[in-house]
Amino acid sequence: MPIVLIGPMGSGKSRVGHRLAASAGAPFIDTDQRIVERYGPIEEIFEREGEEYFRIIEREVVAEALHEEAVISLGGGAVLHPDTRADLADLQVVWLRVSPEAVAPRLAGGNRPLIAEGGIGAWTAILEQREPIYAELADLDIDTSRRSVARIVDDITGRFGGAA
């Protein structure tokens, strides 16, 4: 059964996902990376086509990934789609939380489309909107603000046995 990592941008989903997959001997799928491989840079998709189009292709990529036996990292907003939320109901879902103070240096110098103009204030506003959804979907939540990747992986494998 897949292990799915959800949470806001900068929470460590990709770093934790790579390490967790290696630990479990499973493939790692980063749905944002799959989007980039198929459609080009996310910021360019937002500029050319807008967020609505991005969410359509994101849903397609996520739906495909959730059928694979893997550790899967979803983009921060993937949980906004009701079909994705329904798909996650029967899977092992880990919410990686992070504080605004810890995420600020992680996102510095990045080009994330939804926060490019508004900085950490925009990130916080997005998190406040999505937090109830993350909480509803999660079987396990872990604050990544001050935890090492190794410890986070240990927490996840302790809960789910490391099987992806």
Binding residues for ATP: 10-15, 112, 147
Q: Are 4 and 92 in contact (CB under 8 A)?
A: yes
Q: Rounded to an integer, what distance in angstroms lies between the CA atom of residue 58 and that of residue 123?
A: 20
How many other C-beta atoms can be found within 10 angstroms of the C-beta atom of residue 92? 20
CA distance 117 to 150: 33
Question: Which of 124, 24, 35, 123 shows the shortest CA–CA distance to 74?
Answer: 35
Instruction: Report the binding-site residues.
Output: 10-15, 32, 55, 76, 112, 130, 147
Binding residues for Mg(2+) are 14
Q: Which residues are annotated as a binding site for substrate?
A: 32, 55, 76, 130
